[in-house]
Structure 1
Amino acid sequence: MSLLKVENLYTNYGRITALKGINLELQEGEIISLIGANGAGKSTLLASITGTVPVAKGKIIFDKKDITHHRPNDIVKLGISLSMEGRGVFPRLTVEENLLLGAYTRKNKSEITTTISEMYEMFPRLAQRRKQLAGTMSGGEQQMLAIARALMSKPRLLLLDEPSLGLAPNLVKIIFDMIKDINRKGISILLIEQNANMAMRISNRSYVLENGQVKLHGHSKELMNNKEVRKAYLGEIIDPAVSKKVIQSLASSNL
């Protein structure tokens, strides 16, 4: 069943059109990865879905409801939550206080307490540091806290923006294992990740964005096995002109 549909979406920053007719669909239970260079429009797409950036044209449908112009807090109540790039924890608040802020749209205190216990079970390191100030934690621990805080609203769809950014390789593996565990609990995931290799390995399907447009999409395994995708996104090509030629070639082949 389709949980999220983005239809012909345009989003502007002043006179700059950041998204240019984006179409995307996510089925319930899927992990979808968004791949693309910096400035391709990936974070803008998440901001549009969560209502933090207004949409100029097009529709965002969540669970058969048009949420295109809903307020961010109403979108959270409907079941979409974002763990933003850069973690965004409140450094002068404790782990537990950060988690409580993630449940600000919920009213039942006993249910919130139960969810906090679930987060401590899912993220044992947070349980050990529940009274510690978030700003004194390591980068990996802060990322765990950011994800746990996003889960406090009990979302059906979790948006993750660069969850492994700045983390050591051993912590990257831990974070991706946690993402898979979250998905196994029935939560759908839309993932932006600089580590395209890891993102595509755990996702069902992937969308490649360039200059605010979807240039490619398909099953992640198929895209990973494509020679040109591997060169542009899974290897070490750093020349943007080369990457652009690869994308144009693939788009014309209707992969």
Structure 2
Amino acid sequence: MPEDVPVKGLRRMELRSNDPAGSAEHYRSLFGWIVMPADDGTLRCWVGDRLAALIRRPADWETPGWHPVLGGRPTALLTDPAGVTATLDPGRVRHGPWAPPPRHGEPCWIELMTADTTDDYWSRQLGWSLRAGTDIKPFALFDAADDTGTRAIAGRLLVDEATAAQVGASWMCYLAATDITLVTDTAVAGGATLLIEPREVPTGVIAAIADPYGTVCTLLEDPIGWGGAWS
């Protein structure tokens, strides 16, 4: 992909876990992921023919949690001024506004949570532009464009310094859930913590859980496309 063409979505999400097998089993119970061990020791988690996530142990210098792998650019590790990272991969995009609608258990949105305004960094590196998303002032949308139009590709939420210090600046991973109440009930029964009960927000009906190992994700119920209502 030429450098002046915007990145249009994800290859996959990467879950860096200190217990990869336990994490894979937890999310398999929620979403029915097909979990396949690879020769390099990673666990590849599929929804049908689309790779939803790769689970592996973090390197010594990496923080456990979700990490986006964006498609269509030469391999690179990006790190913004706040320390938030994303990986570029030259393969095709599987998840995003130009990809097929997300199925149960697939990544369906990402949101940059940060106390610092690093918008210029991501816009410059990924070819995205920023616009206000709603009347919620800390929230904005990153857009990508091609000759078919402009589409929302990620969110950006500014959090206060205390929240950033507690949870860290990071990308929030959203996963599609056909029945959000069933998924949250199953997650809690399996040792997860329900952080946000199902509720209506501008994106759609969401909930947030911390899995048994402390990794947080947001669920988005039955999104019609990438980003739910933003599609």
TM-score (norm 1): 0.27
* More helix by percentage: 1
Structure with bigger gyration radius: 1
**Greater share of strand residues, 1 or 2?**
2
TM-score by length of 2: 0.29
